[in-house]
C-alpha cells in the first residue's frame, strides 16, 4: 500500500484553523475532525458546521485535503442516526471515537471508557455500519485499553468484525494519557489479529520516529497529532524522505506569516477573550521545535487582549518581512 499521513483529531487543538494551516503547508493525505458529541437525539447541522466547517467545501480544507468527521458517544442508535446524517451531507467517511482519554468524556460513557466492554464497541459499529450507505466507510480510533492491555485484541477484533473499514490505534492506554513511551509493538500484534488496515498513532515527532513506527508496526499509514503541531512541516519532511529527497525544515522566519493567518481565523471563530489563549497554546507547543518560540511566548504570556495580541503578531510579521 502507498504510505499515507493522517492529521489526528485532537479536541481543542487541531481545530479548523489549525487544519487549514497544516494542510496548506503540505504532506497530509486526510484529516479527522475534533469529535462531535452525540447524546440522545439528532445533531443540528449548525453544530456539525461549527466543528467541521469544511463540510460546505465538499468536506475539504482550502488546500483540498479531505476531512472525515468523528462522532463520540455511547448510544448505538443515535450514533447510527447521526452517522446517516453525516453521510447525507456528503461526508467522505465517518469515524468513531473510542480513544479520547478526557475524564469528562469517560465519565459520560464515551471515548476510551468504552474499551472496557468489547460488546458495546461491536454494537456501536454494527449500528453505524447498518445506518450508513455502503459507499461511506465507517472507521474507528481506539487506544490499547482503559487501564491495561488485557482486552486490546478483543476490542480491535470487535471493531473489525462489526464493520470498521480501518482502525487507528493510539499505542497507549487511557491511563497512560500522553506520557511516553507509546507501545508500538502492540500495533503489529493488532495488525496480525484483524483483517482490516491498522493505522499507527502515538509519539511521532520526527522523520526518524516515523521510520521507526512503520518498521516496528508494519503499518503503511501513520496518524500524527502533536508532532505536526510542533513541527508544522513534518508531513512534508516525511513525504520528501519517502521519495529519497531532502527537505529543509521550515524556518522560524518562514513560519511567522502563518501565525497572522492562524490568529485571524481564530478570532473569527471564538470569543475575543479566548483568542489569545488559543495562540499561546500553539506557541507553547512550538517551543519544542523552535527556540525562538520561547521568547515570544514569554513576551505574550500575560497578554489577554485580543486586539493587542493581533497587533503584536502583525508587527512581528512585518518585521520579518522587512528583513527578507
Strand-pairing partners, residue 285, are: none
Instruction: Name the packing angle between helices 118-131 and 152-161 (round to 10°).
Output: 20
Judge whether 219 counts as a catalytic residue: no
Between vectors from CA 227 to CA 276 and to CA 309, what angle results, nearest 5°?
A: 15
Distances (CA, A) of 273 to 12, 16, 256, 267, 268: 15, 19, 22, 9, 12
Full DSSP string of 15-42: -HHHHHHHHHH----EEEEEEEE--SSP
As given in the structure block, the three cell numbers for residue 309 are 495580541
Q: In the 8-state DSSP scheme, what is residue 303?
A: -
CA–CA distance, 286 with 72 (Å, rounded to integer): 29
Catalytic one among 31, 100, 155, 219? 100
User: Which sequence positions are flagged as catalytic?
Assistant: 100
Amino acid at each position: 500500500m502507498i504510505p499515507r499521513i493522517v492529521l489526528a483529531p485532537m479536541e481543542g487543538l487541531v481545530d479548523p484553523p489549525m487544519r487549514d494551516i497544516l494542510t496548506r503547508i503540505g504532506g497530509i493525505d486526510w484529516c479527522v475532525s475534533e469529535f462531535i458529541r452525540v447524546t440522545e437525539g439528532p445533531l443540528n447541522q449548525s453544530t456539525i458546521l461549527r466543528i467541521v466547517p469544511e463540510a460546505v467545501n465538499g468536506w475539504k480544507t482550502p488546500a483540498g485535503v479531505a476531512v472525515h468527521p468523528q462522532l463520540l458517544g455511547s448510544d448505538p442508535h443515535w450514533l447510527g442516526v447521526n452517522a446517516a446524517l453525516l453521510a447525507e451531507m456528503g461526508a467522505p467517511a465517518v469515524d468513531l471515537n473510542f480513544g479520547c482519554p478526557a475524564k469528562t468524556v469517560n465519565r459520560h460513557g464515551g471515548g476510551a471508557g468504552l474499551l472496557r466492554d468489547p460488546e458495546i464497541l461491536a454494537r456501536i459499529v454494527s449500528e453505524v455500519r447498518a445506518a450508513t450507505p455502503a459507499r461511506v466507510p465507517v472507521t474507528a480510533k481506539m487506544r490499547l485499553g482503559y487501564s491495561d492491555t488485557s482486552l486490546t485484541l478483543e476490542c480491535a477484533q470487535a471493531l473489525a468484525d462489526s464493520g470498521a473499514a480501518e482502525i487507528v490505534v493510539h499505542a497507549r492506554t487511557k491511563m497512560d494519557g500522553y506520557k511516553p513511551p507509546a507501545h508500538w509493538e502492540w500495533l503489529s500484534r493488532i495488525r496480525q489479529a484483524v483483517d482490516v488496515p491498522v493505522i499507527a498513532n502515538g509519539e511521532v515527532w520526527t522523520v526518524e520516529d516515523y521510520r521507526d513506527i512503520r518498521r516496528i508496526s508494519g503499518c503503511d499509514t501513520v496518524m500524527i497529532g502533536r508532532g505536526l503541531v510542533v513541527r508544522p512541516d513534518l508531513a512534508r519532511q516525511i513525504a520528501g524522505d519517502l521519495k529519497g529527497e531532502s527537505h529543509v525544515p521550515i524556518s522560524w522566519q518562514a513560519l511567522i506569516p502563518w501565525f497572522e493567518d492562524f490568529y485571524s481565523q481564530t478570532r473569527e471563530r471564538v470569543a475575543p477573550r479566548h483568542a489569545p489563549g488559543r495562540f499561546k497554546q500553539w506557541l507553547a507547543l512550538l517551543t519544542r521545535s523552535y527556540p525562538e518560540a520561547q521568547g515570544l511566548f514569554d513576551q505574550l504570556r500575560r497578554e489577554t487582549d485580543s486586539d493587542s495580541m493581533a497587533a503584536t503578531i502583525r508587527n512581528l510579521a512585518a518585521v520579518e518581512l522587512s528583513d527578507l
